[in-house]
């Protein structure tokens, strides 16, 4: 139940509801989209970016907060640890226990490799767990990997690396089958047909889901499988520095027990970075839909040993973060709400865009509505627009919300809002790191041998914007592939002497570039103890 200051606007939304359901707003033209993005999308706000002064991407712009972490000091000096006495000695070290890390671990174990996973929180404390809407795969007769490719390539502004994107779409059906065979419960019709919907920017209904717990269902199944296989998972332990061998190949990492602060050395023939995203960096002061540990650690680790980043200047702001009540400010309101028929409407109850534009376009459109157009709703904490959820029950019949998006129903019900009867207030929230480490189709970084990357820490799979449902897909496709390829690389590798010489080298480069900083990185966790307003 909303306070009275919202009631006038809600009445306008209700009055227009029937007409808005029938109304099919036009999709924007390519030119309209370009102009909208340039004027309103946060990626285009130059003052929020800094140029990297040294390192593999010297001269390129990245978000200020990321630049600070990439150029920062290591948390350790090379002689803080004894590289000749590793606590762990394995074929494959996987950094990160989310969807990509677990998929990699399962395949590496299947290939017979000795594999370990380190994760700074618990296995499964990851953005994968929070993905609600679904996972794409072109497995219906009216669809094909080629159509999926065109959707994703265009949605990503024609910037994806073709060899990565083709792998994503061609391996997608197999990824769904693999998950299904592990016991993941996809929404299906009684005859076994997958129940699929649209996502923003898709031209076929290829969004597979497990209600609106799609990521949670995938994550808990992968976690269960990792445990069944007896894979060594070292939790509450972060990787704070990669280790190379004397030949410059990845050879392990320095680990930090998050609770006791003990430093340990893990020696590994190959390393897989599966550290996920960066929402908790709060770029441009945005709230985030990401989990607590999303601090771009993998990008920092990779950059310091010389691995290149690709598209690190592009972030995804999910158009519909919860804007009210403040307890859930920034939390994800799944795109599936729009897939099921809810439209975005402004203060006056007017539909101002097609609900299934791509995420960057939708986010920019909402920002425009709330800024220059002055058509937003004032929540007391900022501006927002309505997402008219009661439309779903009118279109799909009573009970649709409870059946298809129970998590959303529950999240708002906790604060006395019944989304079946009342619309909800939304505003863009920092959601996804489009860019990341540059890899080849075998998941190995382009310039550091035996350093593999999978999941959100990769750049280039999606280009400069990602479609809904392609991230759950990429963690599985590239996670599995990284696990298999790391296993075969490990079998062919004999390590040279371990070294942390890159730290001093990086320090020298910083000095030569004239950069002075007292920051250390990776960030590991955000600090909310003093900043009450940031969630």
Partner 1 sequence: MEKMVNIYLLGKQYQVPDDLTIMRAMEYAGYQLVRGCGCRNGFCGACATIYRIKGDRGLKTCLACQTKVENNMYIATLPFFPLVKQVYDIEKIKPTEQIMMQLYPEIYACVGCNACTKACPQGLNVMQYIAYAQRGEFDKCAEESFDCVMCGCCSSRCPAGISHPQVAMLARRLNGKYLAPKTEHLENRVKEIKDGTFTELIEALMGKPIEEMKELYNNREIEK
Minimum gap (Å) between residue 91 Cβ and partner 1 = 22
Minimum gap (Å) between residue 50 Cβ and partner 1 = 27
Q: Tell me which residue has tokens 């803080």.
A: 80
Among 8, 51, 112, 228, binds partner 1 (CB under 8 A): 228
Question: What is the rounded distance in angstroms from the CA atom of residue 295 to the CA atom of residue 317?
Answer: 16
Q: Which is nearer to partner 1, 218 or 307 (CB)?
A: 218
Q: Are 102 and 77 in contact (CB under 8 A)?
A: no
- Stretch in the footprint of partner 1 (CB under 8 A) among 147-155, 270-278, 304-312, 368-376: 147-155
- Binding to partner 1 (CB under 8 A) within 418-457 occurs at none
Q: Which is nearer to partner 1, 151 or 369 (CB)?
A: 151
- Binding to partner 1 (CB under 8 A) within 274-313 occurs at 289, 291-292
Which is it for strands 436-438 and 424-433: parallel, antiparallel or unpaired? Answer: unpaired
Q: Is 211 in the site for partner 1 (CB under 8 A)?
A: yes
- Sequence-distant contacts of 229-233: CB under 8 A, at least 24 apart: 229/105, 229/106, 229/109, 231/105, 231/106, 231/109, 231/115, 231/116, 231/117, 232/88, 232/90, 232/115, 232/116, 232/117, 233/97, 233/116, 233/117, 233/119, 233/123
By the 10 Å C-beta count (0-12 exposed, 13-18 middle, 19+ buried), 516 is classed as: exposed
- Binding to partner 1 (CB under 8 A) within 122-141 occurs at 122, 124-125, 129-130, 137-141
Q: Which is nearer to partner 1, 333 or 448 (CB)?
A: 333
Q: Which is nearer to partner 1, 78 or 525 (CB)?
A: 525
Q: Is 216 in the site for partner 1 (CB under 8 A)?
A: yes
Among 12, 76, 515, 525, binds partner 1 (CB under 8 A): 525
- Burial 136-156, CB ≥16 within 10 A → b, else e: bbbbeeebebebbbebbbbbb
Q: Are 119 and 96 in contact (CB under 8 A)?
A: yes
Contact string 329-368 vs partner 1 (x = CB under 8 A): --xx------------------------------------
Q: Is 173 in the site for partner 1 (CB under 8 A)?
A: yes
- Binding to partner 1 (CB under 8 A) within 178-197 occurs at 180-186, 188, 190-194
Tell me how crowded residue 114 is: count the other CB atoms within 10 A of its CB.
17
Q: Which is nearer to partner 1, 274 or 486 (CB)?
A: 274
Q: Is 528 in the site for partner 1 (CB under 8 A)?
A: yes
- Stretch in the footprint of partner 1 (CB under 8 A) among 99-107, 247-255, 500-508, 520-528: 520-528
Kindly calculate the radius of gyration of the chain based on its CA atoms and give it in whole angstroms.
Answer: 23
| 410 part of the active site | no
Minimum gap (Å) between residue 170 Cβ and partner 1 = 6
By the 10 Å C-beta count (0-12 exposed, 13-18 middle, 19+ buried), 372 is classed as: exposed
Q: Mention every residue, 6+ apart, whose C-beta is less than 8 A from residue 32.
A: none
Q: State the number of CA atoms in the 13 A half-sphere of 174 facing the CB.
A: 11
| 466 part of the active site | no
- Stretch in the footprint of partner 1 (CB under 8 A) among 84-92, 149-157, 297-305, 466-474: 149-157
Active site residues: 318, 338
């Amino acid at each position: 139940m909303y306070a009275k200051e919202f009631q006038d606007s809600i009445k306008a939304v209700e009055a227009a509801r029937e007409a808005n359901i029938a109304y099919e707003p036009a999709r924007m033209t390519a030119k309209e989209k370009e102009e909208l993005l340039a004027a309103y999308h946060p990626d285009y706000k130059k003052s929020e970016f800094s140029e990297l002064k040294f390192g593999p991407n010297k001269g390129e712009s990245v978000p200020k907060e990321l630049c600070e972490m990439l150029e920062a000091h290591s948390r350790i000096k090379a002689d803080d640890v004894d590289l000749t006495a590793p606590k762990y000695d394995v074929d494959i070290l996987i950094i990160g226990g989310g969807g990509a890390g677990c998929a990699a671990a399962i395949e590496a174990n299947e290939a017979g490799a000795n594999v370990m996973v380190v994760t700074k929180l618990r296995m499964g404390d990851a953005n994968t767990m929070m993905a609600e809407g679904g996972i794409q795969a072109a497995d219906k007769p009216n669809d094909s990997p080629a159509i999926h490719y065109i959707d994703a390539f265009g949605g990503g502004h024609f910037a994806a690396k073709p060899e990565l994107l083709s792998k994503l779409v061609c391996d997608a059906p197999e990824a769904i089958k693999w998950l299904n065979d592990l016991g993941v419960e996809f929404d299906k019709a009684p005859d076994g047909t997958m129940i699929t919907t649209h996502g923003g920017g898709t031209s076929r209904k290829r969004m597979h889901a497990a209600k609106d717990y799609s990521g949670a269902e995938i994550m808990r199944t992968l976690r269960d499988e990792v445990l069944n296989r007896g894979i060594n998972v070292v939790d509450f332990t972060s990787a704070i520095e990669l280790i190379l061998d004397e030949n410059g190949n990845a050879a392990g990492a320095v680990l930090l027990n998050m609770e006791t602060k003990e430093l340990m050395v893990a020696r590994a023939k190959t390393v897989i970075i599966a550290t996920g995203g960066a929402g908790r960096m709060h770029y441009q002061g945005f709230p985030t839909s990401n989990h607590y540990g999303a601090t771009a650690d993998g990008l920092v680790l990779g950059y310091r040993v010389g691995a290149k980043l690709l598209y690190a200047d592009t972030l995804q702001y999910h158009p519909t973060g919860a804007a009210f009540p403040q307890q859930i400010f920034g939390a994800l309101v799944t795109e599936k709400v729009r897939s099921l028929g809810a439209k975005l409407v402004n203060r006056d109850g007017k539909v101002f865009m097609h609900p299934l534009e791509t995420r960057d376009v939708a986010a920019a459109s909402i920002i425009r509505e709330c800024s220059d157009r002055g058509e937003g709703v004032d929540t007391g904490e900022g501006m927002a627009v309505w997402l008219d959820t009661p439309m779903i029950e009118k279109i799909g019949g009573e009970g649709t919300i409870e059946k298809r998006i129970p998590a959303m129903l529950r999240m708002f019900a906790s604060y006395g809002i019944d989304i079946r009867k009342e619309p909800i207030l939304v505003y863009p929230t920092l959601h996804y790191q489009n860019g990341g480490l540059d890899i080849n189709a075998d998941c190995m970084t382009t310039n550091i041998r035996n350093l593999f990357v999978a999941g959100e820490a990769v750049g280039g799979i999606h280009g400069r914007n990602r479609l809904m449902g392609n991230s759950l897909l990429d963690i599985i496709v590239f996670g599995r592939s990284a696990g298999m390829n790391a296993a075969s690389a490990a079998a062919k590798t004999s390590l040279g002497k371990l070294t942390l010489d890159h730290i001093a080298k990086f320090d020298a480069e910083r000095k030569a570039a004239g950069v002075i900083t007292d920051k250390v990185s990776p960030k590991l966790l955000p600090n909310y103890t003093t900043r009450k307003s940031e969630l």
